[in-house]
């Protein structure tokens, strides 16, 4: 009895101590429920929302979400305003799935804040570009944008070629045995080596040796972060701690951050020896040197009062965002072409026309001529966008048709729904590279294709991604004909932080 009384008193104390927050939540909850009553969505019950309907199996969950999207988002977009609501327990979420609703969110200069669910990443990435908001984000974006100028990106093209050559030697071993191979982990390691060399200025060598503590930490951090975002009960700190996730996450963060700090010191010492940390960055340095992102940040550090931890946060952010994302896109492109030989043949014809019998690495001029490869890459991005969810927390009340979404509401933009809208896509459920013929692109709303997001908070590295993808795909298809073992849609894409295939990218490779 004494324990029960103590428990009740504890609850009363917590309520009294948090009465202001509780009052604010109830006011917000009332506004949100009124707004969401005008928007279609799956059935919900008080407190638990629609959570009791969620499929536990991740594959079944993808089917469920697709069915909801077809039913509530795209069945009648004029009536629904391209909106759908979901109650994740007591937390309301609105999904935007057509270009009309997506444009309102992504073009806003105010609604650029990431939802609180992303706070798990702050322990690892600090206040890097991914996590920053408001004026701090605008200032950092302005600072970093010059680092992604094409004059700097073109200096990375030889890195793409060198690392892809290592990948080809590995693929050659599998082609020699005519065995089925999952190329996804191979492409991921190649992508990680590329981003490490271009962002950090260091060679990881993950394609050559796989037992790197840093590499394992980066992959595991992404997995744990997704589990934290997906399972609301892990948002409760006691459960987060008791689950064992917290200790493992902290341990992996320490490994990743300490590695980056060591690299920062090594690069600083190297640049100091060359006298490159004095004065401003010159056009001559940009034109003649292969400067990594970290080099550029170190050269900007004094003038922009950046701390070492801010440098680390930006480098870790680009390692996180730049490795798995494009590996997913490149892998899906290769896999789609492996099940569509008629399109793959056109890729081979374009490559043969560009290179002939020359075995050189792709140059800037070569990459510019890869028109059909770019169509195939974009079509894979349309079918399977690497970032399947773009989330915002509204900073102000936002009008959507006759609905006013209250500030504080979590809004999810769905690139997948936008790119399957039959009003803009001739064959929305098929891999069809002709979707990206010049005349079709010009007649289509730009927000119906947003693999790199859109508006002021679009992906700063999208030019880098396109250059890397075209270079790597050209080198693979110059050497091999690819046959996919699983075909669409049997190999379901899994909507994690980064879209992944449920069964890998299993292919058979044939030398050309």
Binding site, annotated residues: 459
Torsion angle of the four alpha carbons 200, 201, 207, 210, in this order, in degrees rounded to the nearest 10: -50
Give dist(CA 476, CA 165) in Å, integer: 9
Nearest to 229 by CA among 333, 93, 359: 93
Nearest to 403 by CA among 414, 394, 391, 416: 394
Nearest to 315 by CA among 280, 269, 264: 264
362 three-class SS: coil
Give dist(CA 158, CA 166) in Å, integer: 13
**Strand 91-96 relative to strand 410-413, pairing:** parallel
Phi, psi of 452, rounded to the nearest 5 degrees: -110, 30
283 three-class SS: helix
Give dist(CA 317, CA 128) in Å, integer: 6
CA atoms within 13 A on the CB side of 13: 6
Contact 319, 126 (CB under 8 A): no
Give dist(CA 95, CA 93) in Å, integer: 7
87 three-class SS: strand
Cis peptide before 181 (omega within 30 of 0): no
State whether the Cα torsion 33-35-38-40 is positive or negative.
Answer: negative
458-to-115, 130, 141, 280, 340 alpha-carbon distances in Å: 16, 11, 10, 28, 31
Give dist(CA 53, CA 206) in Å, integer: 41
Give dist(CA 490, CA 137) in Å, integer: 40
Kindly report the number of other CB atoms within 10 A of residue 477's CB atom: 22
Binding annotation for heme: 459
CA atoms within 13 A on the CB side of 155: 19
Q: Return the CA Rg of the chain.
A: 24
Q: What angle do CA 140, 141, 143 make, to 5 degrees?
A: 65
Phi, psi of 95, rounded to the nearest 5 degrees: -105, 130
224 three-class SS: helix
Contact 367, 471 (CB under 8 A): yes
61 three-class SS: helix
């Amino acid at each position: 009895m004494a324990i029960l009384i103590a428990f009740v008193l504890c609850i009363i104390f917590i309520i009294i101590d948090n009465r202001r927050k509780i009052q604010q939540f109830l006011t917000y909850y009332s506004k949100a429920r009124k707004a969401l009553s005008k928007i279609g969505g799956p059935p919900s019950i008080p407190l638990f929302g629609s959570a009791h309907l969620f499929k536990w199996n991740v594959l079944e969950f993808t089917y469920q979400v697709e069915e909801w999207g077809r039913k509530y988002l795209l069945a009648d977009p004029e009536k629904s305003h391209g909106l759908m609501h979901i109650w994740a327990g007591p937390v309301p979420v609105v999904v935007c799935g057509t270009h009309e609703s997506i444009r309102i969110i992504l073009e806003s200069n105010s609604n650029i804040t990431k939802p609180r669910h992303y706070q798990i990443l702050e322990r690892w990435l600090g206040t890097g570009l991914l996590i920053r908001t408001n004026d701090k984000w605008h200032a950092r974006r302005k600072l970093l944008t010059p680092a992604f100028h094409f004059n700097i990106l073109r200096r990375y093209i030889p890195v793409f070629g060198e690392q892809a050559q290592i990948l080809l030697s590995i693929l050659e071993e599998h082609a020699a045995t005519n065995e089925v191979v999952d190329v996804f982990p191979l492409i991921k390691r190649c992508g990680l080596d590329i981003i490490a060399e271009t962002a950090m200025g260091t060679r990881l060598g993950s394609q050559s040796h796989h037992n790197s503590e840093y590499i394992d930490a980066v992959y595991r951090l992404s997995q744990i972060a997704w589990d934290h975002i997906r399972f609301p009960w892990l948002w409760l700190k006691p459960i987060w701690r008791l689950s064992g996730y917290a200790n493992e996450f902290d341990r992996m963060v320490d490994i990743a951050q300490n590695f980056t700090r060591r690299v920062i010191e090594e690069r600083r010492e190297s640049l100091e020896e060359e006298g490159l940390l004095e004065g401003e960055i010159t056009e001559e340095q940009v034109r003649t040197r292969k400067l990594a992102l970290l080099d550029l940040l170190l050269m900007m550090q004094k003038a922009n009062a950046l701390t070492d931890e801010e440098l680390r946060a930006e480098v870790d952010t680009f390692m996180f965002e730049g490795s798995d994302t494009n590996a997913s896109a490149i892998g899906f492109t290769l896999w789609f072409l492996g099940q569509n030989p008629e399109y793959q043949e056109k890729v081979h014809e374009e490559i043969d026309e560009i290179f002939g019998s020359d075995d050189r690495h792709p140059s800037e001029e070569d990459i510019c001529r890869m028109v059909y490869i770019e169509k195939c890459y974009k079509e894979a991005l349309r079918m399977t966008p690497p970032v399947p969810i773009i989330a915002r927390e509204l900073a102000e009340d936002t009008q959507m048709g006759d609905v006013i979404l209250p500030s504080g509401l979590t809004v999810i933009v769905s690139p997948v729904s936008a790119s399957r809208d039959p009003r803009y896509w001739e064959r929305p459920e098929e891999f069809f590279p002709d979707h990206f013929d010049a005349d079709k692109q010009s007649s289509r709303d730009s927000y119906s294709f947003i693999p790199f997001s859109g508006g002021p908070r679009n992906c700063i590295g999208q030019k880098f991604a396109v250059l890397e993808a075209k270079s790597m795909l050209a080198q693979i298809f110059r050497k091999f004909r690819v046959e996919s073992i699983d075909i669409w849609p049997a190999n379901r894409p899994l909507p994690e932080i980064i879209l992944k295939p449920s069964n890998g990218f299993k292919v058979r490779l044939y030398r050309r």
